[in-house]
């Protein structure tokens, strides 16, 4: 074996044997462009992976112990966390901000929410489908950023993926904040499709002043975290003017808030909502009081997880389009 191989080539040699394909050279160059190679050098990918595992494992062990996530949800969230960190820390930190704030709010005044949460399809412990619903849209945009960054020189498109990601996470955080705070409001919520009509607390599509304000704060928190990263990281969004940064990052909070509204509208129209045939209560569950429920509105197969993913992904696409168009001006 030649002795002039660098550490990355040594790793490839160990992994695939002496006949390392020539196209690994292209891969090596792409790895060299990643943030961890710029920060940590030739072994940057291994250092970054070690940090990701070292940080994520304790967090998700804690999340499992506290029953914030099921076991498989922890594994899925851990995958997203490690992947986001490797792609770029800005994605990981924003996901972390969402996870921590949503976990805290889910357990805030938990006893006061017990009766209302009976309407919801799922309880406070998030499962795999919930993690996918909240994380998959952002993951698609993060991968889009990675591929654009590595395979092209189009800064406009790669930056647009970052802004789309911020808006996507802002949407799921806005939805969580609006729901968890809104159900604690003493005021009866209004039906988002008919604001002259009031509905019971916890009803999908119900909106209140307190919940709406909380929804905006949830989106704003993600934006503020992104802004702090931009300030201290020194331009994770490359080749963008200062005025564009301070315009587009706040704009993502507006899109995130709009995403929360879209989420409520989908919950009021498309999402399946049922009635218990025993007690007569409205619920998102297909079974209540030990008996199958009766569909009142929406589509039986379109669940809350579908609503969350659809709203966040739609807002991400809109933010992506606006970013591309604006940067071309």
The model's pLDDT over 206-225, given as tens digits with 9 standing for 90+, comes to 899 999 999 999 999 999 99
The pLDDT of residue 60: 84
Low-confidence winner among 3-17, 65-79, 141-155, 229-243 (lowest mean pLDDT):
3-17
The token duo for 224 is: 């503020």
Distance from C-alpha of 329 to C-alpha of 322, rounded to nearest angstrom: 11
- Pick from 66-75, 130-139, 149-158 the range whose average pLDDT is largest: 130-139
For the chain, give percent helix, strand, coil, nearest 5.
70, 10, 25
Torsion, Cα 302 308 313 314, to 10 degrees, reads 70
Given a cut of 80, whether residue 13 has pLDDT beyond it is no
Please state the rounded mean pLDDT for residues 23-32: 61
Given a cut of 50, whether residue 20 has pLDDT beyond it is no
Given a cut of 50, whether residue 23 has pLDDT beyond it is no
The pLDDT of residue 10: 54
Please state the rounded mean pLDDT for residues 18-27: 50
Please state the rounded mean pLDDT for residues 128-151: 91
281 or 112, which is more confident: 281
Given a cut of 80, whether residue 15 has pLDDT beyond it is no
The pLDDT of residue 117: 62
DSSP per residue, 56-122: HHHHHHHHHHTTSB-HHHHHHHHHHHHHHHHH-HHHHHHHHHHHHHHHHHHHTTHHHHTTGGGGSSS
- Indicate the average pLDDT of the chain: 82
Give percent of the chain with pLDDT exceeding 90: 32
The pLDDT of residue 59: 86
Given a cut of 50, whether residue 36 has pLDDT beyond it is yes
For 77-120, write each residue's pLDDT tens digit: 899 999 999 999 889 999 889 888 887 887 776 776 666 665 66
Backbone angles phi, psi at 156, to 5 degrees: -60, -45
pTM for the full predicted model: 0.84
> pLDDT-based confidence at 238, cuts 50/70/90?
low
DSSP category for residue 295: E
The pLDDT of residue 19: 46
E-state strands within the chain: 190-191, 194-198, 206-207, 273-275, 282-283, 287-288, 291-292, 294-297
> pLDDT-based confidence at 138, cuts 50/70/90?
very high
Distance from C-alpha of 249 to C-alpha of 224, rounded to nearest angstrom: 8
Distance from C-alpha of 77 to C-alpha of 127, rounded to nearest angstrom: 10
Residues in the chain: 329
**Contact (CB, 8 A) for 205 and 260:** no
Given a cut of 70, whether residue 175 has pLDDT beyond it is yes
Please state the rounded mean pLDDT for residues 308-324: 94
228 or 28, which is more confident: 228
**Residue in 42, 152, 158, 31 with CA at minimum distance from that of residue 91:** 158
> pLDDT-based confidence at 156, cuts 50/70/90?
confident
Beta bridge partners of 299: 271
The pLDDT of residue 104: 83
Give percent of the chain with pLDDT exceeding 70: 81
What lies within 8 Å, CB to CB, of 322 at 6+ separation is: 251, 255
Phi/psi-derived region of residue 326, left when phi > 0, alpha when psi is between -120 and 50, beta in every other case: alpha
What is the CA 102 to chain-centroid distance, rounded? 11
The token duo for 73 is: 């949800």
Distance from C-alpha of 253 to C-alpha of 263, rounded to nearest angstrom: 15
Backbone angles phi, psi at 110, to 5 degrees: -60, -35
């Amino acid at each position: 074996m030649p002795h002039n191989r660098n550490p990355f080539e040594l790793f490839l040699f160990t992994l695939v044997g002496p006949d390392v394909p020539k196209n690994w050279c292209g891969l090596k160059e792409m790895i060299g462009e990643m943030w961890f190679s710029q920060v940590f050098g030739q072994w940057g990918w291994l250092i970054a992976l070690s940090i990701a595992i070292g940080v994520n494992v304790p967090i998700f062990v804690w999340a499992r112990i506290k029953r914030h996530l099921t076991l498989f949800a922890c594994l899925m969230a851990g995958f997203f966390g490690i992947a986001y960190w490797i792609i770029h820390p800005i994605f990981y930190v924003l996901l972390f901000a969402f996870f921590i704030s949503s976990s805290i709010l889910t357990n805030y005044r938990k006893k006061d929410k017990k009766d209302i949460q009976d309407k919801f399809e799922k309880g406070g412990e998030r499962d795999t489908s919930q993690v996918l619903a909240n994380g998959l849209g952002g993951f698609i945009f993060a991968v889009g950023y990675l591929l654009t960054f590595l395979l092209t020189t189009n800064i406009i498109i790669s930056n647009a993926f970052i802004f789309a990601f911020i808006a996507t996470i802002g949407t799921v955080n806005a939805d969580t904040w609006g729901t968890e705070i809104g159900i604690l409001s003493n005021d009866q919520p209004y039906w988002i499709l008919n604001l002259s009509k009031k509905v019971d607390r916890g009803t999908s599509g119900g909106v209140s002043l307190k919940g709406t304000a909380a929804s905006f704060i949830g989106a704003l928190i993600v934006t503020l975290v992104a802004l702090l990263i931009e300030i201290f990281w020194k331009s994770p969004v490359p080749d963008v003017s200062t005025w564009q940064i301070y315009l587009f990052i706040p704009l993502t909070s507006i899109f995130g808030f709009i995403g929360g509204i879209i989420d409520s509208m989908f919950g009021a129209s498309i999402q399946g909502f049922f009635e218990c045939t025993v007690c007569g209560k409205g619920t998102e569950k297909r079974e209540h009081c030990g008996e199958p429920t009766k569909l009142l509105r929406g589509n039986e197969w379109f669940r809350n997880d579908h609503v969350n993913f659809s709203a966040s992904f739609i807002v991400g696409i809109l933010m992506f389009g606006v970013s591309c168009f604006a940067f071309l001006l």
